[in-house]
Amino acid sequence: MEQFDLEGYLAGGVERIVKRAVKATLKDPKESAFMLKYGLASKEAAKRRAAASENGGHIPPFLIASITSSCNLHCAGCYARHNNACSDDAPSRQLSDFEWLKIFGEAKELGIGFILLAGGEPLIRRDIVEAAGKIPEILFPIFTNGTLIDEKYIELFDSCRNLIPVFSIEGRMEITDDRRGPGVYKKLIAAMDAMHKNGLFFGASVTVTKSNIAEVVSEGFLDNLYSRGCKVVFYVEYVPVEKGSEENAPGDSEREFIYQKLRSLREEYEDMLFLSFPGDEKDSGGCLAAGRGFFHINSHGGAEPCPFSPYSDINVRDTSLKEALRSKLFTTLREQHMLSEEHIGGCTLFEQRDKVEAILQNR
């Protein structure tokens, strides 16, 4: 397999996304005007990251922010519920909209230009989504199940073009409803159609497993998304949430299949953007968690390597994002090369959770 520079791909990802998005939205003057302005902001962010690197620091271009632990669905195999990062209980001590706005502002100053809003179900926290909309220099993909989209959200997305819903879909209706619940697929399609009717930019997120991989890269599936106005597709490898579930995670043959398929898809669908996470870590220098390419802030402020590795030794309530990136946990994971360890598939830190827990115990 041709070596893929995943770290370089992520580092330049914001600028590539903007360039392709401008091309994809030339028929929509309002969207194009926003993307052109954001293009200038992303160049400034890149300069700030480069300046930090010259001074011996490192700022990743991406941040994942889980803005709530609440969710209105119970999806099969949900890593957040398995890790107790998501529940039906009333949230307590979660970061406020003011605290998140402060984090977003600091991220902008550091040069982070791409913040993925996750949960739980992020649209439950309309206050935080509205706060994100006030920072047009940052793109906020919102990874949502799509069931809470209403007229007010459509109006918000229209006025704040930096907020980009990314709808979670598993394939055709039977596959999606089997994992997410009866009727979810129809709600997803209705939300997509409402976005398209209003000329709004949106994407789709697919959890790739051995059982759905052929379906989600098929012409029929992608043509359906394309016809509804989808411009970005995130392929996210399924991460085993417990022992015994590893068999459904993509292996080397599946990664080779999707790698080759994405090369042709990017040529066939010129005005769509296809992203694959984590990509083939074994041939790209390892996982980009713990600040190499991105990091995660949970709903209570804990700085974690990534959502799939819910370990933290520092809280942004008590410190800055910059200091969080220098935490002992993040530093040890990077310096001891744990992010480049061989693994079966999915998440290298999941397979090394005993070692990660040992780092926290010895801090």
pLDDT band of 195, cuts 50, 70, 90: very high
In a domain, 306, yes or no: yes
pLDDT at 165: 97
- Structure tokens of 226? 């394309």
**149 within some domain:** yes
pLDDT value at 276 more than 70: yes
Residue 253 within any structural domain of the chain? yes
DSSP code string of 34-59? HHHHHHHHHHHHHHHHHHHHHTT---
* 295-354 pLDDT, tens digit each: 999 999 999 988 878 889 999 999 999 999 999 988 888 887 666 655 555 566 766 777
Residue 1, in any domain of the structure: no
Average of per-residue pLDDT across 183-189: 97
Q: What angle do CA 322, 157, 182 make, to 5 degrees?
A: 100
Q: What is the pLDDT of residues 215-274, one digit of tens each?
A: 999 999 999 999 999 988 999 888 776 666 677 888 888 888 988 898 899 888 877 888
Q: Tell me, what amino acid is at 70?
A: S
- Transcribe 112-142 into DSSP letters: --EEEEESS-GGG-HHHHHHHTT-TTSBEEE
CATH classification at residue 198: 3.20.20.70
Q: What 3-state DSSP class applies to 220?
A: helix
User: Which is more confidently placed, 17 or 98?
Assistant: 98
Would 255 be classed as within a structural domain?
yes
The predicted structure's pLDDT at residue 90: 56
- Asked whether residue 264 is assigned to any structural domain, the reply reads yes
CA distance 157 to 203: 13
> Whole domain around residue 342: which residue ranges?
6-361
Q: How many domains does the chain have?
A: 1
β-pairing, 114-118 vs 62-66, is parallel
Q: Is residue 145 part of a domain?
A: yes
Asked if residue 27 is part of any domain, the answer here is yes
3-state secondary structure of 239: coil
pLDDT at 14 over 70: no
Rounded Cα–Cα distance for residues 118 and 27 (Å): 30
